[in-house]
Each structure stands twice: as C-alpha cells, then as structure tokens.
Amino acid sequence: MNTSNTFFGHPIGLRTLFLTEMWERMSYYGMRALLVLYMTGAVTGFNPGLGWSQVESQAIYGIYSGMVYFMVVPGGWIADNILGHQKAVLIGALIIALGHFTLAIPIEQTFFLGLIFVVLGTGLLKGNISTIVGQLYDGQDDRRDSGYTIFYMSINIGSTLGFLICSYLGEKIGWHWGFGAAGIGMTFGVIQYIQHRHLLGDAGMHPNDMSDEKRKKYSNYLKFSLVAMFMVIGAGLFGFIVIDPRFFAEQFAYFLTIVAGLYFLYLFLFAGLNASERKNLILLFLLFIGAAAFWSGFDQSAGSLNIFARDYTDLSISGYQIPVGWLQFANPIIVVLFAPIFAGIWAQLARKNLDPSLPLKFAIGLLFMALSFFVMILAVNLAIESSPVGMQWLLLTYLFQTWGELALSPIGLSAFSRYGPKRYMGQMFGLWFLASAIGGVLAGLLGGEALDGGLETISPIFEFMIQYYLVIAIALIVLSFVIKTAKD
C-alpha cells in the first residue's frame, strides 16, 4: 500500500478535512470558553469585560449556540443546491475567521457583528464538512464509520488547542487577544484547506444536478433571503430594533421546537411513509427529544459551569491560578481516552448479543447527564457552606457528561441516517443539528435562570433538569422494549 497517499489507511482527503475541522473547532471552542466570562466580566480593572448580567449574558450565549447549529440547516441547502460542499466549506471558513477577527477589535460595538459572522460561517462549514467526509468513500466502503471516528478526534484535538491557547491569552493577557488567537487558528485552517483541497477530488465538488432555470430560481431565493437577513441584522445592530436577549432566546426556543415538531408531523402524515418507516420515525422523534435534552445540559460547560468555575472554584495548582477555561480540557481529553474503551464495550456486548439498542444508549447518555448535575448539586451545597470548592467537582461532572456524550453522540447521527426515511436522508443531518440548536438555546436559558440569584438559585434548576433527564430516560427505556426498529 502506498502510505504516502493515505491518511491512517483512509483516503488522503480525510487529512485535509481533519486539519480544517481541527482549526475550526479550535477557534469555535476557544472563543466560546471566553464568551460568558467576557460578557459578565467587571467593567473596570485589569482585562475589563462588558459587565452584563448573568441572565442576559447566558441568554446571548444560548442564542449564539442555538443559531450556530440552526444555521447548519440553510448551510446544507446552499451547498446542496448552489455552491457544492467544498466551496461552502471554504467560504464558511473565511467568514468564521472574519468573525473572530471582528471580535478581536477591542471595542464593544463590534461584538455582535463578530458573533453573527461566526454563526453564519459555521452554518456553511460544520454540516457540510461532515458531509464531505462521507463522500470520500464509495457506497459500500466499510472504512466510512472509522473515518468518522478519526474525524471526531480532530474535533477534540481542536477544542483542546482552543482552550489551551485562547483561554490563556483571553483571560491572562486580554479578551481580545484570545478572540484574535481564534481568528489566527481559523486562518491556519483556511490556508491549509486552500493548499490541500485538491486532495478531496470530486467529493463534495458539485451541487445537485438540476436545470439552469431551477438553479437560477434557487440563487434568487438565496439572494433575496440574504438581503432580508442583512436588513434585519443591520436594524438590530444600529439600534432600530431593540432586542431583549432573554425574551428573544425564549421565542427562539419555541420557534426551533415548532419547526422540528412540524417537520416530524409532515414526515409522519404527508411523506407517504409505510408502517415500518412510521414506526422508525417515532423512534427518531424520541431520540430527538433525548438529544435536545442532553445538549441542554452539555452546553452549560461554557455557560453556567464556566461561571461556577470562575466564582466558586479554587483554580490554583501549586500557587498558579489556571485560566478558568482550562477546566474544560476535561471533555476532549476524556473523549480521546474513553472513545476506544466505549467502542470496545459495545463490541464485547454485541458479541454476546447484548449490545444496547439505540434508545437504551440514549437513555444511558441521559442518566450520565443526570448524574453529572447531581454531582454539581453536591458541589453547590458545599460552596454554600464554604466557597471556593476544589476542582475535582467540575472534573467529575465533566467526566460523567463526557461518558454520556460517548454513549449518545457518535451513534446519533448514524441513527438518523439509518432510520430516517430514505428519500429524506439529506435533511436527517439537519434534523440532528436542530436537536443541538434546541439544546444550545435551552442551555443559555437554564444557565441564566440558575445563576440569577447567585449560588442559591442553582440547585432548584439543576434538580429540575435531573427530573426531565430521568423522565426522558425512562420513556426511552420503556420504548426500547416496545419498539423494535424495523431493519432496513
């Protein structure tokens, strides 16, 4: 085998995507770890922040996280019908870099503009780059799944780099240095992508076949939507419309839920599905709820838990105060350490025919999430007695959350592609990201609610979350006995 033309035994184009995604996630997670710290930071003193309230800042964080993944849906449509996936990734990466550099400008006025660029760029990049990964392989090539596993590693290497560099610079030198570092990271990704894009060959090169007339119609839709969107954004940025972050976040959460609900309903009633496809759709609907609930806890790592780390946790190691964001290293490091172990456990169980079904794995993910917030409640109680508490509490929380992630996230996407109605395959991808979007905005709303009254208001919210994790987990366990997925 000519190893110089492969990447760990995979098509060499995977290397291009691996490095692009690594730098993109470096910039995404690196910046995200600074976001609420910057918004809620005191306006005076060394490294002044914006001095905004917890409720507002967490809501903005939620809107941002929700928008990033919501935009993956139109981003996929644009790539499918107009740009092709390769070009969409390039344009997306450039817009992301522009966003981070905008945030690096040390004034408050450009803050939202920077976030909007990152949202729009990520919408074009994140889903489409994952699609190209799949297209590197021929129809039946069984390396595809392990290709996605390698790709998942790039995500975690990227976020580790992001926390390391951006949190250090942002917290210890100045926020805007951290944002700038995210921009430089993304720029490395852009340069690398431009240099090595040819290695992708035809994968993701061309948009769907259609008549010139139809394509023209589609690009007109796009132009019209872009103009309308920039008018709304402009009106917001120049203060013609005043937006209350919390109200907006709530409406956005309803909007996303209604969009997802209507889409499921449409598929169920009007897509001409047969009985077994309908049964699978009910399963996907429950998995969707499970995933949205899961991310609503998971995404609090850079939200409420980040604040808990800053305000109530002792961050000194041998006299050195580590940056707050460094605690989030736990997630990617645990992913890399435990991913092979989880894969091994599932494989062992499968050999004995005991491999947990999809709903059961999702339930396991939610139970770990519940456990992680139970640990947090213990930590909060301790902090009420005497603050700060040790780092081990957050580390244990992240350990459980990451075990949950490993049970739920890697199989989620493939579940949607395997059990989704065949003719709607492309959109199943969008649906999976829509669950993350709902989770993201809920994370901001719940996190804001939790921190509204300092330590005292945290536990009731976390208890409420534990309750809904348990309810959904039990529903999924019951369902796993009732619905046996129809094999395709």
CA angle 160, 157, 188 (to 5 degrees): 95
Tokens of 143: 């390396």
Q: Nearest distance from residue 25's CB to ligand PHE, in Å?
A: 6
Q: Which is nearer to ligand PHE, 302 or 477 (CB)?
A: 302
Rounded CA gap, 431 and 425, in Å? 10
Taking CB positions, which residue lies at the least distance from ligand PHE?
Answer: 436
Rounded CA gap, 445 and 426, in Å? 30
Q: Which is nearer to ligand PHE, 25 or 197 (CB)?
A: 25
Q: Which of residues 2-21 bind ligand PHE (CB under 6 A)?
A: none
53, 40 in Cβ contact below 8 A? yes
Residue recorded with tokens 């603050």 = 387
Q: What is the DSSP letter of 63?
A: H
Q: Where are the alpha helices (DSSP H) in 41-172?
A: 54-70, 72-78, 85-104, 111-135, 144-162, 168
Interface mask toward ligand PHE for 25-64; x: CB under 6 A: x---------------------------------------
Q: Which is nearer to ligand PHE, 313 or 436 (CB)?
A: 436
Q: Which is nearer to ligand PHE, 50 or 336 (CB)?
A: 336
Single-letter code of the amino acid located at 157? I
Number of residues that bind ligand PHE (CB under 6 A): 6
What is the chain's length?
488
Residue 436 interacts with ligand PHE (CB under 6 A)?
yes
Q: Which is nearer to ligand PHE, 77 or 464 (CB)?
A: 77
Residue 71 interacts with ligand PHE (CB under 6 A)?
no
Q: Which is nearer to ligand PHE, 334 or 379 (CB)?
A: 334
Interface mask toward ligand PHE for 148-177; x: CB under 6 A: -------x----------------------
Q: Nearest distance from residue 21's CB to ligand PHE, in Å?
A: 8
Residue 427 interacts with ligand PHE (CB under 6 A)?
no
Burial class (CB in 10 A: 0-12, 13-18, 19+), 24: buried
Residue 409 interacts with ligand PHE (CB under 6 A)?
yes
Helix, coil or strand: residue 409: helix
The kind and range of the H/E element at 10 are strand 10-11
Q: What is the DSSP letter of 483?
A: P
**Binding footprint of ligand PHE on the chain (CB under 6 A):** 25, 69, 155, 409, 433, 436
